[in-house]
Amino acid sequence: MGRASTFLPALFLLCALSGQHAGAADATPTEMDPVKAARAVKLADKLRCLVCQNQTIADSNAELANDLRGQIREQIAAGRTDDEILTYMVDRYGDFVLYQPPFKTTTVLLWAGPALLLVGGLFILLRNLRRQPAAESTLTDEERERAKRLLDGDDRKDDK
Amino acid sequence: MNRRMLIPLAIFVALAGFLFAGLWRDPREVPSPLIGKPAPAFKLTQLHAPQQMLGTSDMKGKVWLMNVWASWCVSCREEHPLLVALAKENIVPIVGLNYKDEPAAGMRWLTDNGDPYTTSVMDRDGRVGIDFGVYGVPETFLIDKAGTIRYKQIGPITEDALRKKILPLINELQKS
């Protein structure tokens, strides 16, 4: 009796603490060795669930994501490498299943874009900075006079 | 007016053009890498005759449609009348891939809504679905005589897609 009364709260605490890993645990089969299970979770984390496109297969509760997690586990158990499993997914669902798009001709702009913008921006900035001195200057005598008047607080003449 | 001042405006217009065009594209439609590739081989038991099988190889030499459907699939109801009408015209065999469904529920659904399928096969664990890259039922594949996937419709077939894309393509493929 006494034992049960301390055991139960401890159990609840344990459940609550492990709750934060529930998402990852979904992709982990119970009977798999930890190294393989970790691989399965890592792979599922790289793949997009096409049903709910902003979730990974590891995060999603969609039935398809569940099936694909099953596929990953099965293929790991069958001794396939990570690359082979990713290729299996890309062959069926296209590059879009990969959260990190591959580098190829159609994605050059995607990968190189930010660097190009940075370089281009720096180039324009430097050019403008260098040009600055030429733009500095040049009030006519008349304007200087008027500025002086304004600064002195005698602006009545200026009002029209 | 300084022409250089137009540059930001030009950039803005170009960007707005891209975004505007994007409004009409459906992000849920992910182009399939399987188009132009051989249809994945399968051999599955038939829904109405569980002792018989049907597979990709049985359809060699024919232009055929494979429609992925399920009794639990809501948007399948949307396209179903179109399929029933198409089946009546006898233009093309339609194989139904009954995806992750209970056979009894599937059969009842066909009795209630009409059965446009030449044959329906059962993909109970969804494995063939995965091989075809199915992610949103209904999906429809057009497969040519050599067994190559030529077209994929993601989501319900619309009247528009049927008349403007699918039927002309079937016509063309049947001639070759």
- Tens digit of each residue's pLDDT (9 = 90 or more) over A19-71: 444 444 454 455 678 888 999 999 999 999 888 888 899 989 888 999 999 99
- Both tokens of B142, joined, read 């057009």
Q: How far is B68 from chain A (nearest CA, A)?
A: 14
- Residue B112: domain span: 30-175
Whether pLDDT at B72 is above 90? yes
Residue B54 domain-assigned (yes or no) = yes
Q: What is the CATH number of the domain that holds B35?
A: 3.40.30.10
The number of C-alpha atoms within 13 Å of A35 and in the hemisphere containing its C-beta is 3
Residue B133 domain-assigned (yes or no) = yes
Tell me: do A108 and A83 sit in the same domain.
no
Which of B28, B33, B126 is closest, CB to CB, to A67? B126
Query: Distance of CA B82 to CAs A120, B62, B97, B102, Å?
Result: 54, 21, 17, 24
Residue B8 domain-assigned (yes or no) = no
Query: Which residue in chain B is spatially nearest to A50 when comparing CA positions?
Result: B135
Q: What is the pLDDT of residue A101?
A: 85
Region of poorest pLDDT, from A6-15, A109-118, B59-68, B112-121:
A6-15
Whether pLDDT at A1 is above 50? no
ipTM at complex level = 0.82
Residue A70 domain-assigned (yes or no) = yes
Tell me: do A75 and A107 sit in the same domain.
no
Q: How far is B125 from chain A (nearest CA, A)?
A: 8
Q: What is the pLDDT of residue B12?
A: 94
H/E element holding B152?
strand B149-154
Residue B59 domain-assigned (yes or no) = yes
Q: With contacts defined as CB-CB under 8 Å, which chain B residues touch A96? A: 30
Q: How far is B30 from chain A (nearest CA, A)?
A: 7
CB contact under 8 A, B33 and A51: no
For A117-136, the pLDDT digits (tens) are 999 999 999 998 888 765 55
Q: With contacts defined as CB-CB under 8 Å, which chain A residues touch B34? A: 92
Higher pLDDT, B12 or A157: B12
The number of C-alpha atoms within 13 Å of A73 and in the hemisphere containing its C-beta is 20
Residue A2 domain-assigned (yes or no) = no
Q: What percent of chain B has pLDDT over 90?
A: 86
Residue A34 domain-assigned (yes or no) = yes
Region of poorest pLDDT, from A12-21, A108-117, B82-91:
A12-21
Residue B9 domain-assigned (yes or no) = no
Residue A81 domain-assigned (yes or no) = yes
Q: What is the pLDDT of residue B107?
A: 95
Tell me: do A78 and A46 sit in the same domain.
yes
d(CA A19, CA B16): 44
Q: Is B30 on the interface with A (CB under 8 A)?
A: yes
d(CA B27, CA B10): 27
Q: What is the pLDDT of residue B105?
A: 95
- Residue A123: domain span: 103-130
d(CA A94, CA A84): 14
Residue A72 domain-assigned (yes or no) = yes
Q: What is the pLDDT of residue A154?
A: 67
- Both tokens of B6, joined, read 């137009």
Q: How far is A64 from chain B (nearest CA, A)?
A: 7
Residue A13 domain-assigned (yes or no) = no
- Total number of domains constituting chain B: 1
Q: What is the pLDDT of residue A142?
A: 87
Residue B17 domain-assigned (yes or no) = no
Q: Is B133 on the interface with A (CB under 8 A)?
A: yes
Q: What is the pLDDT of residue B99?
A: 95
Q: What is the CATH number of the domain that holds A40?
A: 1.10.8.640
Residue A85 domain-assigned (yes or no) = yes
For B23-44, the pLDDT digits (tens) are 988 877 888 889 999 999 999 9
d(CA A22, CA B172): 52
Report for A99-113, A144-158, B135-149: range of highest mean pLDDT: B135-149
Residue B16 domain-assigned (yes or no) = no
pLDDT band, very low/low/confident/very high, at A8 (cuts 50, 70, 90): very low
Tell me: do A126 and A66 sit in the same domain.
no
For B94-148, the pLDDT digits (tens) are 999 999 999 999 999 999 999 999 999 999 999 999 999 999 889 999 999 999 9
Residue A50 domain-assigned (yes or no) = yes
Tell me: do A51 and A78 sit in the same domain.
yes
- Total number of domains constituting chain A: 2
Residue with tokens 């029209």: A160
d(CA A86, CA A33): 21
